[in-house]
Amino acid sequence: MAEEASRPFAGLSDVSIPEDIPVEGDISVPVGASRRDDEYSTLDEPVKETILRDLRAVGKKFIHVLYPKRSSALLRDWDLWGPLLLCVTLALLLQGGAADSDDQGGPQFAEVFVIIWFGSIVITLNSKLLGGTISFFQSLCVLGYCIMPLTVAMAVCRIVLIGGSGTVSFAVRLVVVTASFGWSTFASTAFLADSQPPNRKALVVYPVFLFYFVIGWMILTFSPSQ
Amino acid sequence: MSAGSGNRNTNTEPWGSFDDNLVQGGGAAVIDMENMDDTSGSSFEDMGEMHQRMKEEEEVSEEAAAADDDSPEDGEFLGMKGIKGQLGRQVADEVWRAGKRQASKAFNLYANIDILRPYFDVEPIQVRSRLIESMIPVRMINFPQKIAGELYGPLMLVFTLVAILLHGMKTSGTVIREGTLMGTAIGTCFGYWLGVSSFIYFLAYLVNAQITMLQMLSLLGYGLFGHCVVLFVTYNIHFHFLFYVLWLLVGGLSTLRMVAALLSRTVGKTPRLLLCGTLSLLHMLFLLYLHFSYHKIIEGLLDTLEGPNLSPIQRVARDVPELTLNATARSLGVTLMSH
């Protein structure tokens, strides 16, 4: 038996180990590591629970945007589900504008989609270039979630527009969109500003301002087809 | 213990140096293996490193050999020149290798961002002062003016222009077949910025002006500030007179500033005329184009709405009495003839 055990080493006989290193130790199989994986396993849970858990996480982040205190919850576990949801909702609400019938002018679904994602990417790259310490997807997540006030404003505008499109309705829409635009900008700045060098906050905020301004303006000028 | 002794007895030849450690028993044998794995692993790593190092050394020695190969004949035939050529070649090799390393680095996104970062190294106050300076032409053309090589301001101005253009297109009801308004606005603005910068840089290269591509991009980018102001005002206030005044005043000032900066970096009359004439022509015409192509349409629409509605009525109004007059005259004539 001892001979058999020694045979595999025969080929390595010329490897020399200095004698002053004691060759000893004890055998211990790491058992704890595999058990930790089991706790996080979501393979055998019902699909409903999985979806509900994700939705709950998205809902929590919505609350963070509505009440923007300087917390890092939105930054720490980012996801892109919320932004996708908001973006699709906004694009669907903006669909079917007045000019849409004769195939011109009105914001198309794809256009809204592209503006939101392209704009977020540009802002993120800009903040990276200015020396921000935030990761790419964290920034996308924050910018996407902060569209929420504008989406709400869009829904309100649609409801107001059902009542009619006179001067009063325009005034109401103007107030609502301006408020939500300010809210979006303020919330995203609250989350993003900490990751920037203090003297350059204005440079980072400007593209964010422009981005939400364009979206807000699109919402304000929207008029449904008769 | 017996196993240990067995080990000792049988392994004397291949494991000579391990004898003392193996005395402790069977468990120790397994540990030996673990230790062996460790050492062998590290030795493999060492091997890898060594292999790489050897390769590099080989490359270096090959290059040196190549240089040596070249040197004798060069040295024989050209003497001092040969040594110079060798030095030049070595420097060129060095530069080429450094360039290769840089290029391979540039493939990495983060490395890319790091490369661009110096151009975005500005303070808000600097940006503000540069925006104001872009409207103030400096009358100093004997000494090269300082042009900041920075891209944050120009990039943001181009995006602002895109937003303003989008606004103008929407309010004027521009119809674009085969494409979105957004794409057209972005294409126009970036196309102008990059295209005209490259073109002027090419011209500057031809006439030997002292300007780099980066400076050209920055200069033209800040020059767009005037366009932004003018278009933002005139897309919202529809006075033709106001537009022409602003076009001449604001657009002219920002163009003059660029022209002055270019003049100070060019020598000779013809080059100056060529370069500055081209730039000012393109810059002023671009503003006119942006204004009228996305603003005139609203007037064009009004014309087409009002024009056809008014003229047929007038024509009818003019024609109907004649017709009736003719008809009555004819009927009168007919009645007269018959009677």
Distance from A113 to chain B by nearest Cα, in Å? 11
Query: For residues B98 and B114, is the Cβ–Cβ distance under 8 A?
Result: no
Q: Which residue of B has its CA nearest to A217?
A: B167
CB contact set of B4 (below 8 Å; sequence gap of 6+): B22, B23, B24, B25, B26, B28
Task: With CB atoms and an 8 Å threshold, state whether B21 touches A13.
Answer: no
* Gap between the Cα atoms of B245 and B330, Å rounded: 59
Q: Tell me the chain B residues in contact with residue A1 when contact means C-beta distances shorter than 8 Å.
A: 3, 6
* Gap between the Cα atoms of A180 and A61, Å rounded: 17
Query: What pLDDT score does B251 carry?
Result: 92
Distance from B127 to chain A by nearest Cα, in Å? 9
Distance from B83 to chain A by nearest Cα, in Å? 45
Q: Does A112 touch chain B (CB under 8 A)?
A: no
Q: Tell me the chain B residues in contact with residue A6 when contact means C-beta distances shorter than 8 Å.
A: 7, 10-11, 14-15, 29
pLDDT bin (cut points 50, 70, 90) of residue B220 is very high
CA atoms within a 13 Å half-sphere pointing along the CA-CB vector of B24:
14
Query: For residues B60 and B52, is the Cβ–Cβ distance under 8 A?
Result: no
Task: With CB atoms and an 8 Å threshold, state whether A2 touches B156.
Answer: no
Across the range A74-86, mean pLDDT stands at 83
Query: What pLDDT score does B230 carry?
Result: 92
Query: Can you name the residues that pair with A97 across neighbouring β-strands?
Result: A224
Amino acid making up residue B75: G
Q: Does B166 touch chain A (CB under 8 A)?
A: yes
Q: Is the dihedral of CA B44, B46, B49, B51 positive or negative?
A: negative
How large is the angle between the packed helices A81-94 and A201-220, nearest 10 degrees? Answer: 40
Q: Does A199 touch chain B (CB under 8 A)?
A: yes
Question: Model confidence over A149-177: pLDDT tens digits?
Answer: 999 999 999 888 888 777 888 899 999 99
Which H helix or E strand runs over B81?
helix B80-106
Distance from A111 to chain B by nearest Cα, in Å? 7
Q: Give the rounded percent of residues in chain A with a pLDDT score beyond 70.
A: 73
Query: What pLDDT score does B185 carry?
Result: 85
In angstroms, the first-to-last Cα distance of chain B is: 157
Q: Tell me the chain B residues in contact with residue A207 when contact means C-beta distances shorter than 8 Å.
A: 156, 159
**How many helices and strands in chain B, by DSSP H and E?**
13, 0
Q: Is the dihedral of CA A6, A9, A14, A20 positive or negative?
A: negative
Q: What is chain A's mean pLDDT, rounded?
A: 79
User: Closest Cα partner for A109 from B174, B180, B188, B185?
Assistant: B180
SS3 label, residue A26: coil
Q: Give the A:B interface size as CB pairs under 8 Å.
A: 116
* Gap between the Cα atoms of B208 and B270, Å rounded: 12
Amino acid making up residue B278: T
Which range has the top average pLDDT, A217-221, B4-8, B136-140, B219-223? B219-223
CA dihedral of B22, B27, B28, B34, whole degrees rounded to 10: 130
Judge whether residue B53 has pLDDT over 80.
no
- Give the other-Cβ count within 10 Å of B291's Cβ: 22
User: Closest Cα partner for B189 from B150, B163, B151?
Assistant: B163
- Longest Cα–Cα distance of chain A, Å, equals 99
* Gap between the Cα atoms of B327 and B103, Å rounded: 89
DSSP state for residue B145 in the 8-state scheme:
P
State residue A97 phi and psi, 5-degree precision.
-75, 175
Task: With CB atoms and an 8 Å threshold, state whether B160 touches A16.
Answer: no
* Gap between the Cα atoms of A140 and A147, Å rounded: 11
CB contact set of A139 (below 8 Å; sequence gap of 6+): A120, A123, A124, A127, A132, A192
Task: With CB atoms and an 8 Å threshold, state whether B170 touches A105.
Answer: yes
Query: For residues A141 and A87, is the Cβ–Cβ distance under 8 A?
Result: no
- Give the other-Cβ count within 10 Å of B243's Cβ: 22
SS3 label, residue A224: strand
Judged on CB neighbours under 10 Å (0-12, 13-18, 19+), B284 is middle
Judge whether residue A209 has pLDDT over 90.
yes
Question: Left (φ > 0), alpha (ψ -120 to 50) or beta: where does B237 sit?
Answer: beta
**Looking at the partner chain, which of B17, B167, B174 has a beta carbon nearest the beta carbon of A217?**
B167
Contacts with B, A 14-43, CB within 8 Å: 15-17, 19, 21-27
Its ipTM equals 0.73
For testing the chain A interface, which of B5, B31, B40, B44 should be mutated: the one with the most A CBs within 10 Å? B31
Distance from A169 to chain B by nearest Cα, in Å? 19
**DSSP result, B177-206:** SSS-HHHHHHHHHHHHHHHHHHHHHHHHHH
Q: Where are the domains of chain B?
A: 2-107, 124-294
* Gap between the Cα atoms of B34 and A28, Å rounded: 12
Query: What pLDDT score does A210 carry?
Result: 93
Tokens 């440079």 correspond to: A203
Task: With CB atoms and an 8 Å threshold, state whether A210 touches B159.
Answer: yes
Query: What pLDDT score does B72 carry?
Result: 46
DSSP state for residue A11 in the 8-state scheme:
G
Distance from B146 to chain A by nearest Cα, in Å? 23
Where in B281-321 does DSSP place strands (E)?
none
Reading the block at residue A121, the tokens are 């990417």
Q: What is chain B's mean pLDDT, rounded?
A: 71
**Looking at the partner chain, which of B21, B159, B182 has a beta carbon nearest the beta carbon of A114?**
B182
In angstroms, the first-to-last Cα distance of chain A is: 93
Q: Does A202 touch chain B (CB under 8 A)?
A: yes
Q: Does B21 touch chain A (CB under 8 A)?
A: yes
pLDDT bin (cut points 50, 70, 90) of residue B322 is very low
SS3 label, residue B89: helix
Q: Does B282 touch chain A (CB under 8 A)?
A: no
Query: What pLDDT score does B225 carry?
Result: 93
DSSP state for residue B1 in the 8-state scheme:
-
Where in chain B does DSSP place strands (E)?
none
Judged on CB neighbours under 10 Å (0-12, 13-18, 19+), B246 is buried
DSSP state for residue A107 in the 8-state scheme:
P
pLDDT bin (cut points 50, 70, 90) of residue A211 is very high
